[in-house]
Amino acid sequence: MIKAFIFDLDGTLVQTEILKAHSYAKAVTKIKPGKIKEHDVVNAYKELVGRSREEVAKSLIEKFSLQEESVNLAEESGSDEPWEAFVNIRLDYYYESLKIPRIVKKVECPYSSRLLQKVKSQDYKTALATTSHIDEVSKVLDTLGLKDLFDFIATRDLIKKSKPDPEIYNLVLSKLNVIPGECIVIEDSVTGIKAAVTAGMNCVAATNDYTRDIVIESNLLEEKWIVNDLKQLDSVVEEMIKVNS
């Protein structure tokens, strides 16, 4: 029997992946002006959705040959690592977008938010499991008014290993006092789905333009549990509840 619902944040409840992609793109073009197109960085980011800041930064630095620029940035800013200096520039752009409520609300995923509100009203236990950091998460949840809908919020700050490692989901299980088979996870990315599946949980993929093709190609979930038209999210979740009743 299903007792709990666990939601990812970025790409699932809110399309901050769009904002993150463009913040990385702006950071790249700032430190290497005139040589790289923002569109190319955005496309590269699509393959990195769900990974940690460090993994994304290092991958983009390598892909766009930003090693020298990042080292110089680290020396100028006093950062311990080149990737951290790059991330700090990217965060400046990202945090600016999060300060504008209309921008955050514009990228909210309404069907996922409604599902969260629905299951909370039905007395299911609820949690957030995101690899974003608490500073980002708080800004987004406060703007959307979703924070009080969660019994527990797990962020990157509480774990050592990021998704696809199942650590964050194992943490949520212990905090909610449930077993894996009693949970339904709503995720959008391959890394998140892998984490949930490895933890032994039921998972529904609510895909988006950034993750759809990769999720389908991954073969991590049966096709019936992959929701490409989010209008169908509620009915797919109801079916999974029935299967586990």
pLDDT > 90? residue 16: no
91, 137: one domain: no
Last residue of a domain, one of 101, 120, 135: 101
Last residue of a domain, one of 82, 101, 120: 101
53, 146: one domain: no
pLDDT value of position 47: 85
pLDDT value of position 114: 97
90, 125: one domain: no
95, 111: one domain: no
pTM for the whole structure: 0.84
78, 187: one domain: no
68, 96: one domain: yes
* CB environment 100-124: b (16+ within 10 A), e (fewer): eeeebeebbbebbbebbeebbeeeb
26, 92: one domain: yes
78, 123: one domain: no
Domain count, the chain: 2
- CA–CA dist 82, 200 (Å, integer): 37
- Token pair of 225 as six digits: 């549990």
CA 45 to chain centre: 13
Last residue of a domain, one of 101, 118, 138: 101
CATH number of the domain where residue 146 is located: 3.40.50.1000
- Token pair of 236 as six digits: 């797919």
162, 222: one domain: yes
154, 144: one domain: yes
59, 28: one domain: yes
pLDDT in tens, 67-114: 999 999 999 999 999 999 999 999 999 999 988 999 999 999 999 999
- CA–CA dist 204, 219 (Å, integer): 13
High-pLDDT (> 70) share of the chain, %: 100
pLDDT in tens, 24-68: 999 999 999 988 999 999 999 988 887 888 999 999 999 999 999
pLDDT in tens, 120-130: 999 999 999 99
What is the span of the domain harbouring residue 32? Answer: 17-101
pLDDT value of position 120: 98
**Structural contact between residues 171 and 158, judged by C-beta atoms closer than 8 angstroms:** yes
**Structural contact between residues 98 and 139, judged by C-beta atoms closer than 8 angstroms:** yes
- CA–CA dist 47, 52 (Å, integer): 13
11, 22: one domain: no
